């Protein structure tokens, strides 16, 4: 009778035990055991020097941009001063060359203006001289026409005078008619002489006008001389401008040297590249370090992950981005959300740090569970931890 009463109770306890067993948790998750790790970032120096100051120690939390150490910068400061002095000298030389170019350009512009003004003046004088010649040529035509008429009148008056003289000598005509013919002859002769003089003057005026044209034309040689001078000066200006550009190149080179020296000066201040924790400090004050020497190692506390191994038979149950969570002994009641960020593509034997010989001979796959966050940076590299990859949602 007592055994019959005990059997239902025993069945109930078995069901309860199975439902509350940790194996039930394992059925829904792939278990990973390992340690919290983070990718170490090595902080080195780009320039050699003696360590003047160190501001952090191992275990210190640092923020991105925070100064970790400072190298002695006396030699670099001297190079900066030397580079800046060279830059000032180059700028001064370039400025002097620029002023020289301006002087030559001013002289060139003055010559160009002089040529323009002279050509305008000579063009005007040539125009006037040609107009004077045209007037003189017209005057010659008029004088020739007047001479022709005066000659005809003169010849007619001369013939009348000679005829009337003979008639008067023969007592055929009276004295008054002869006197009248004689007076007409003398007037026509005077007019004829005057017409010849006017023609001579007009022809002389043409020659004078032509001479004036030739004089003005000869002055155009001055423009040709100016043009040759301008061409020579233009070549000089181009050469001076080329020299100025070379001086500007020197300024640019000097500026680059200054920037490089200042960059080296900036490189003497070692700063944290990321937020994180200093895990290793490799130097102390007074040590002389070469370029590229590693000074610190920093782990980004917001980029931690659990690294562990899973048996080969469970690798088919997981994939990248698969949700998971991590638990640590220091915070037994907290689950830290994570996801699968890495699954090894090749199996390996269980690492030597696994204690039992039986476990070490098994083939396993390395996995990483990336923590989604690290509130308050409570998780630290090196903490032992357990991970659970969810295979059921």
Instruction: Give 63-80 pLDDT, tens digit per residue.
Output: 899 999 999 988 888 888
Residues of the chain with pLDDT under 50: 1-26, 355-358, 361
Burial of 293 (0-12, 13-18, 19+ CB in 10 A): middle
Q: What is the pLDDT of residue 350?
A: 64
- Stated pTM of the model: 0.53
Q: Taking Cα atoms as reference points, which of 210, 63, 72 lies closest to residue 135?
A: 210
Is residue 343 within 8 A of residue 319, CB to CB? The reply is: yes
Instruction: Report the pLDDT value the prediction gives residue 22, as an integer from 0 to 100.
Output: 42
To which H or E segment does residue 91 belong? helix 74-169
Q: Per residue in 246-256, pLDDT tens?
A: 999 999 999 99
CB environment 81-103: b (16+ within 10 A), e (fewer): eebbebbeebbeebeebeeebee
For position 265, what pLDDT does the model report? 85
């Amino acid at each position: 009778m007592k055994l019959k009463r005990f059997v239902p109770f025993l069945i109930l306890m078995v069901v309860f035990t199975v439902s509350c067993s940790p194996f039930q948790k394992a059925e829904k998750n792939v278990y990973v055991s390992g340690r919290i790790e983070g990718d170490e970032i090595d902080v080195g120096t780009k320039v050699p020097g003696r360590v003047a100051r160190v501001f952090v120690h191992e275990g210190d939390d640092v923020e991105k941009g925070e100064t970790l150490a400072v190298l002695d910068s006396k030699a670099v400061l001297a190079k900066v001063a030397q580079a800046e002095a060279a830059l000032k000298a180059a700028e001064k030389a370039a400025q002097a060359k620029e002023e020289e170019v301006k002087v030559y350009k001013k002289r060139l512009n003055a010559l160009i203006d002089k040529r323009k003004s002279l050509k305008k003046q000579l063009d005007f004088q040539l125009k006037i001289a040609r107009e004077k010649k045209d007037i003189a040529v017209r005057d010659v035509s008029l004088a020739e026409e007047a001479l022709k008429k005066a000659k005809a009148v003169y010849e007619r008056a001369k013939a009348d005078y000679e005829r009337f003289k003979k008639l008067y000598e023969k007592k055929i005509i009276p004295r008054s008619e002869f006197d009248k013919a004689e007076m007409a002859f003398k007037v026509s002769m005077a007019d004829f002489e005057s017409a010849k003089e006017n023609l001579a003057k007009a022809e002389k005026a043409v020659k004078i006008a032509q001479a004036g044209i030739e004089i003005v034309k000869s002055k155009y040689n001055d423009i040709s001389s100016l043009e040759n001078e301008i061409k020579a000066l233009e070549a000089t200006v181009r050469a001076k401008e080329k020299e100025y550009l070379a001086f500007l190149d020197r300024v640019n080179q000097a500026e680059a040297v200054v920037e490089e020296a200042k960059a080296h000066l900036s490189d003497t201040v070692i700063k944290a590249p990321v937020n994180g924790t200093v895990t290793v400090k490799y130097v102390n004050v007074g040590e002389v370090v070469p370029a590229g020497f590693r000074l610190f190692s920093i782990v980004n506390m917001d980029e931690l992950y659990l690294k562990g191994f899973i048996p080969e038979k469970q690798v088919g149950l997981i994939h990248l981005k698969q949700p998971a969570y991590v638990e640590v002994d220091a915070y037994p009641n907290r689950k830290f959300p994570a996801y699968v960020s890495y699954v090894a593509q090749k199996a390996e034997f269980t690492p030597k740090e696994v204690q039992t010989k039986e476990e070490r001979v098994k083939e396993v796959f390395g996995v990483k569970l990336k923590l989604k966050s690290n509130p308050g940076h409570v998780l630290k590299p090196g903490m032992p931890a357990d991970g659970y990859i969810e295979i059921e949602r």
